[in-house]
Structure 1
Amino acid sequence: MRVLLAGATGVIGRELLPLLRKAGHHVTALARGSARDVDADAVVAADLLDAPGLAAAVAAARPEVVVHQVTALRPASGDTRWEVFERTAHVRRVGTANLVDAARAAGARRIVAQSIAFATTPSGDPVLGEDAPLFVDAPDATWAMTVQAVAELERLVLAADDLAPIVLRYGSLYGQYTLYDASGAIGQAVHLGRLPLVGDGAGLTSFLHVRDAALAAASAVEHAATGVFNIVDDEPAPAHAWLPGYAELLGAPEPKRVPVDLGERLLGWYGAFQQTRQRGASNAKARAEFGWRPTVPSWQDGVCQALSEVSR
C-alpha cells in the first residue's frame, strides 16, 4: 500500500518507518523541513499548520493510508514549558483538522492517529478502559489545555468515517530518544537524584516501549479495526514501584520522599499528579478487537533491555 507517514522523524516515526517498508509498503515521509537522512521511498515537505501546502504535499504522495504521528514537543531555544505545550495543542487541533481534510482530498481510505492513554479523569477504577472520560477540566491550565487538544484530535479523526479512522492512545513511552531514556530528561533527573517520590506514590503509569508503539501503528495500517484503542503494556506501575526500581537499574540514589505540596512545587502539578492520582490504562480492547499485544509486557523488562542496548 501507499502510506504517508506524518512525523517520520519523531520518536515513534523513526521506529515505524522501517517497519512499514519491511512490510512492503511504499512510504512517503512527510517532514516540516529538510529530511535528507530519512530512508523512505519518497519525502515531501509540509507543515501541518499550512493547509494549502499540506494538501499539495499529501496529494502528491497519493496515499491509501495516512499515519499521523506529529507533535511539537521538541523545545526550541528559549521556549517556556507553556509555549511547548501550547504549540503541540495547536498542532493537535488545527494540524489534525488540516491533515484529515488533506487525506480526504487525496483519496486516502484510512487514517491512523496517535493520542495518549494517560489523559483520563482520575475517578473510578485504578485501571481504566477507552470509555473513561478525559480530564478536560483538570485544575492545571497546561494539562487542561493538553487534554482538551487531545479530545479535539480524537473527535476530528473519529468523525472522518469515510477514512476508516483508528486512534492509538499510547502509554508513557520509554526507550531510545524518549524522556525515560537513560540520557533523556527523566532518566537524567533520576540518575542525579533530582526526581523525588511524591506522597504515597500510588499514582499509576501505563508504560509502553517505543518499539511496541511503532508495531501497533504498523499493524493499524493493515488492520480493519476502527475506533480508540489503548496501546500500553500489561502492568500499570505505581510510582512507589517504578521510580525506585528505575533508580536502582540506573545505579542512582534512592529517590527522596516528599509531601504532595512540595512535590507540586518541585515537579509542577502534572509531575505530582502522575505519582499520586493518575489512573492506569487497560489494553484489553486492543488485544480483543485489534489483535495487538505488547512484546515487552512489563516496564521492568523493557527498561533493563533498553539499558543493556545503550551499554553495548
Structure 2
Amino acid sequence: MSAAYATFGLAPAMRAGGVLANGDFQLHRDFVDFIVDSRPLLFQLSDLDAVSPLASDVPPAIFTAQVRSLLGETDAPLPGGRHVIYGCPECEDLACGAVTAVIERDGDDFIWRDFAWQTEETVDLRLNGYHGIGPFRFQGAEYRAALDSLLQEETRRARRRVLLIGARVAVLAKLAAALRSIGIGADITHGVGGVPADELRGYGAVAFGRAISEEERAAVRRSFAGAGIEVAYVDGLAPIVPLLVAQIEHALDRSPLAQRRLIRLVAADGEAGVEVTSPCRVRLTAYRLDRLYRTHAQEVFDGVLEAGRHRIALDAKAVKGESFVVARTSGSVLVEAMAR
C-alpha cells in the first residue's frame, strides 16, 4: 500500500474537566495524544471531545496492553484489524462512539488507514468513514521508539492532586468536593512546614485563597523548592467554586503550548478576545460577585470558531462589577478577570 511518510510522535494532553454553568460536572482526563506531522491528530477530527487509549489514569497493566496493541504485538481489539484511536472521555463504551482505524504492518513500516466513527462491532466506511484523513505511513523505528518510550517512563503519570490553602473553610470544602467529583484529588491545609518531601511530591498544584498573605505564600513556595519539587501555583481570583476549578484545570495542563487549541483570552470593556489554533467549539462563561458577595453565572457564548483571533461582545449585565470570564474548549481552559 502506497502512502507518503508522516512523522509520528506523542505528547501529553488533557481533557479539561470542570463545573459547568448549568451545574453539570465534566470529568478531567490526562492522556497521551498522537502527534502526526507535528500536529495533534485529534485536531484533524473536527471538534471531537475524546481521549486516546493512552490515558494516564488507567492501571499500568491496561496502559501497557494498549501500547502493545498499537505496536501490533497483540491482536486488534475490534474486527477487521481495527483499533480505537480516540474514545469517550467519560467511559470506555464503544456505544458512545469512537474513532477507529486499521493499523497494519508493511515491512518495517506501520500504516494507519480507514479512519471511521464507530459505535458497533462493525463499521460502514461509506457512511461513517473519515475520508479526508490518512492513510498515514510511519517509519517503523520512529513509531516503535515513541511508543516504547512510554513503557520506560516512570514519571509519565500526571500529579493530579491539588493542595488548597485558604481562610474560608466552607469555600475550600466545596472546592475540594468539586475537584474530587471531576477526578482531581484535593487536600486542605494551613501550611506545609515540616511535611516530608515524599508527600509534597504527590501534588501538581497549590491554590491560594485571596486572604493568604504573601509571606505565607512564600513559605509554601520555599517548602516545595527546598524539596526540589516543581508545582503550579494558583492565586484564587474569587471565592467562586467553578471559577477556581477552571483556574486549577489550567494550572494542571501539561500539554505543550504549541499543541493547544485555545491559546489566548483577554477580557476588557465588555468584550472577550479569544484566539484558537484550529476550528473548535468555544464556550464563554461569565462569573460575577454582587455587592452582597453573591455569585452569578451566565453562559455568554457557545459556538464554533475558526482558527484565528476573535472579539466577542458580552452581555453587559453578566460582567458588571467584579467579574471574570472562563473560556473553555474540550481540551483546555483559560480564565481572566474583566479589566475596566
Shorter chain as denominator, the TM-score bin is: under 0.3
Q: Higher relative contact order by CA 8 Å / sep ≥ 6: 1 or 2?
A: 1
Q: When the two structures are superposed, what TM-score results if normalisation uses the length of structure 2?
A: 0.24
Which structure is higher in strand share? 2
Larger Rg: 2
Q: When the two structures are superposed, what TM-score results if normalisation uses the length of structure 1?
A: 0.25
